[in-house]
Structure 1
Amino acid sequence: MKGSIIIVSFFVLGAVLGWAGWLPDFLLETDHTRYALYLLMFLVGASIGADNKLREIFQRLRFDVLLVPLATIVGTLVGSALISAALADVSLTDCLAVGSGFGYYSLSSVFITQYKGAEMGTIALTANIIREILTLLAAPLMVRYFGRLAPICAGGATTMDTTLPIITRYSGKDLVFVAIIHGFIVDFTVPFFVTFFCTI
């Protein structure tokens, strides 16, 4: 929750400074978002590659564990497609691009801003933050009414970091491995799906 608040605070600060005209021209005239995106992708790759537990996790990987991230990806994209039918002003591909952020708001919003503009980037940021917050707040209800895998699917890409403690608490410690693998796989797909839907 604290990480989400920090991200939103920086976003709001940037928006206020840009709107007020308090940013120097060289920051606005140069395409810094592209370089920020490159740096962000490098840091994501470095953090995954530097994880000492990665080899151990892959050695324990079973096929049925892969069905959980697959269900999350398919379910999210189907849900995004259904929502696009109710939104007259937003295209199917835009809804799919926002949905394919899978809760990874910091990366997906930068990508979508780069391809679709600030308005869609803001929608992506908001939608994916809401996904994380709902997982954090509603995990006990999800477990009660939909089963122990529900918070993992709802958490999307966040299940290997920010939502992992709440998933461990309510879904059980025996599903920690599933949550980490799920988060890793879904996290890895975000740049590919977002780029695909933004460019078709």
Structure 2
Amino acid sequence: MKGSLIIVGFFVLGVLSGIGDIFPPDFFSIHASQYVLYVLMFLVGLSIGYDKELIHSLRQTNWKILLVPIGTIIGTLLGTAVIGVFIPQWSITESMAVGSGFGYYSLSSIFITKYKGAALGTIALMSNIMREIFALLATPLLVRWFGRLAPISAAGATSMDTSLPIITQYSGRAYVVIAISHGIIVDLTVPFLVTFFCSF
């Protein structure tokens, strides 16, 4: 939870810096954000590649493990499509683009800002941060009410990193491989789905 609060704190600091005109308007650009994104993607790939134990565990798991990320993706897209019906200023596909971030705020918000503008990009950022914070705070209740897979699905892409400790604590160590593989698979779909829904 501390990590999520730090992220929200930096976001608020950025908003206040923008309002206060601390930086010149051309200080940031979409191109600079893309380079930061490339570095982030490289680091994610590097951390997965270096974790030999993770790769070995994934090879040993049953194919049914794929049902968890598939369920997360379908459920999120259906949910955001329904919500999109009730938001007149944004289209259903734009709502689904926001949902396609699956908690991966640093990636999805950059893509959405590039294709749809800063307003929807900011909504994507806040939506995905809120998803992560919800997963961190609600995991004990999700396990009690909906079962041990619920917090993994709720965490989205963050089930493999920031949400993993709380998932391990309440769902149990037996669900670690599921949480990590779920996070990796959902993570990999983000650029494709966000770009796809932003193209409409």
TM-score normalised according to structure 1 size: 0.91
In 2, are the aligned partners of 1:157 and 1:182 still within 8 Å (CA)?
A: yes
Aligned-pair identity in percent equals 59
Gapped regions of structure 2 (runs ≥ 5): none
Amino acid at match of 1:51: D
Q: CA deviation at 1:62?
A: 1.2
Amino acid at match of 2:4: S
Q: CA deviation at 1:25?
A: 5.2
In the aligned structure 2, how far is the partner of 1:172 from the partner of 1:28? 43
In the aligned structure 2, how far is the partner of 1:52 from the partner of 1:108? 28
In the aligned structure 2, how far is the partner of 1:25 from the partner of 1:164? 38
Amino acid at match of 1:4: S
The more displaced of 166-175 and 63-72 is: 166-175
In 1, are the aligned partners of 2:58 and 2:177 still within 8 Å (CA)?
A: no
Q: CA deviation at 1:80?
A: 0.6
Gapped regions of structure 1 (runs ≥ 5): none
Taking the TM superposition and a 5 Å limit, the aligned residue runs for 1:45-124 are 45-124=45-124
**CA pair 28-162 structure 1, distance change in 2 beyond 3 A:** closer
1:135-176 Cα shifts (integer Å, max 9, x gaps)? 111112111111111111111111111111111121122111
**What value does the CA root-mean-square deviation take over the aligned residues?**
1.8
2:136 is matched with which residue? 136
In the aligned structure 2, how far is the partner of 1:108 from the partner of 1:127? 10
In 2, are the aligned partners of 1:33 and 1:114 still within 8 Å (CA)?
A: no
1:37 is matched with which residue? 37
Q: What is the aligned length? A: 200
In the aligned structure 2, how far is the partner of 1:153 from the partner of 1:195? 22
1:89-131 Cα shifts (integer Å, max 9, x gaps)? 1111111111011011122112211221111111111111111
In the aligned structure 1, how far is the partner of 2:75 from the partner of 2:17? 38
1:9 is matched with which residue? 9
Structure 1 runs of 4+ with >4 Å offset: none
The more displaced of 42-51 and 162-171 is: 42-51
1:10-37 Cα shifts (integer Å, max 9, x gaps)? 2222332232222135514674223222
Taking the TM superposition and a 5 Å limit, the aligned residue runs for 1:166-181 are 166-181=166-181
TM-score normalised according to structure 2 size: 0.91
Q: CA deviation at 1:177?
A: 1.2
Q: CA deviation at 1:7?
A: 2.3
**CA pair 57-12 structure 1, distance change in 2 beyond 3 A:** same
Q: CA deviation at 1:38?
A: 2.5
In 2, are the aligned partners of 1:7 and 1:106 still within 8 Å (CA)?
A: no
The more displaced of 190-199 and 50-59 is: 50-59
2:18 is matched with which residue? 18
